Amino acid sequence: MADMRTGAFKHDNMVAPKPGLVLPLFSLKGKTAVVSGAGAGIGLAVAHAFGMTPSSETWPLLKWISSFPRWPSQIAEAGANVAIWYNSNKKALEEAANIESTYGVKCKAYQVNVTTWETVRDAVDEIVKDFNGRIDIFVANSGIAWEEGPFIDGPLETMQKVLKVNVDGTLYCARAAALHWRRQKQEGTTSDGKPLENFTYGSFIATSSMSGHIVNVPQQQMVYNASKAAVIHACKSLAVEWVGFARANSVSPGYIKTELSAFIPAETKQIFKDRIPMGREGEPEELKGVYLYLASDAASYTNGTDIIVDGGYCVP
C-alpha cells in the first residue's frame, strides 16, 4: 500500500518468482479458479484452459523430462480446480462435469446473479469452503451487450441493466475475492486454518472489450462502451489498492464469435471485418493464452495492465 501522506509505496512488497524454467510458471495445479459467465463462449474457453492438463499423447514425454533431478515435476500443465458461474445457461452443469472428467480436476457449476453483492459474496464464500479453503484466481467475465442503438432513444431501464451487470457485477466479484486474498496473504492459511501451500498472490482478471478503447462503427452502443472503459480503469485502480496480496488486470477482446454478438446483422459484420486487419472474428479459444498468462506466476510483474486481443482492429 502507498503511504497516504507521500504516495510512496513500500519497497519489495511483492516478490518475484525464483529464477528457473518458464513453463512451470504457468502451472495452476492445486489452485482454485472462479470464472463467471462461463456457461459458454469466452468464459467456458477460459475454464477449459485453467483446468487442462497434458494430453495422453504428451504426458509420457513430459513425465520422462520431469524425472530428471533439475527439472520440476509440474512442467507444462495448468491443472487448476475450477468453479464456473452461470446466470441462466444450465448447460454449464454439463460443461462442469465434462471439464472434471476430461482433465481430472475438480469443477463445479454455480448459478450466481452477479448484480447483487450479497449473492456474489455468499457464492465466493461457498466456493472457498467447497474448494479446499482457498481461492487463487477470479475471472470476472459476466457481461451483457447494448442492442438498442442510439442512447438518446434507448430505454433507461436497459442502460441500468447493462451497467449493473458489466460494472457493478465486476466490482462485486473483485471485492468478494479480494477479501479472501488479503486474509490468505496475512495469515498464510486456508479458511479452515490449514497451511496454505503454493499461494503467491491473488489474480483478478476482468473481461473488458476493445470497445472500452474505441467507438465501434457502425454500431451505436455508448452504454456498453462506457461500461467496459469503467472496467479497465477499475482494474488499474485495484492494482494499486491491492499491492501486497493480489494483482488486477483486464483483457479487451475484439469481435469474438460468441452469443454476445449474435444480435449483430450479417451486413454489419461485413463492415467491421473490413476494419480488422486479420479480416475475421476471433474464436474464444484464441483468448485462452492471455487469460492463462495473467492467472499464473508467469505474470508476476504484470499489474494494472489491459491486454487488447482484437486481430489488430485498434491498430490503424
- 245 in Cβ contact with 204 (< 8 Å): no
Point out the catalytic residue in the list 86, 224, 255, 313. Answer: 224
Closest Cα to residue 125, out of 115, 116, 114, 134? 134
Q: Which helix (H) or strand (E) covers residue 251, if one does?
A: strand 246-253
CB under 8 Å to 18, separation ≥6 — which residues?
none
Point out the catalytic residue in the list 27, 142, 209, 250. Answer: 209
Q: Residue 84: how many CB atoms within 10 A of its CB?
A: 30
Q: How far is the C-alpha of 157 from the C-alpha of 15, rounded, in Å? A: 46
Look up cell 452502443; give the residue.
221
How many angstroms separate the Cα of 295 from the Cα of each of 89, 209, 254, 316? Answer: 25, 18, 20, 30
Closest Cα to residue 312, out of 268, 266, 274, 262? 274
Give backbone dihedrals phi and psi of 310, rounded to 5 degrees, phi first: -135, 15
Amino acid at residue number 171: L
Q: How far is the C-alpha of 81 from the C-alpha of 84, rounded, in Å? A: 10
Amino acid at residue number 193: G
Look up cell 502507498; give the residue.
2
Per the annotation, the verdict on 110 as an active-site residue is: no
Q: Residue 147: how many CB atoms within 10 A of its CB?
A: 13
Per the annotation, the verdict on 273 as an active-site residue is: no
Closest Cα to residue 272, out of 287, 255, 248? 255
- 202 in Cβ contact with 138 (< 8 Å): yes
- 279 in Cβ contact with 316 (< 8 Å): no
Per the annotation, the verdict on 224 as an active-site residue is: yes
Q: Which residues are catalytic?
A: 209, 224, 228
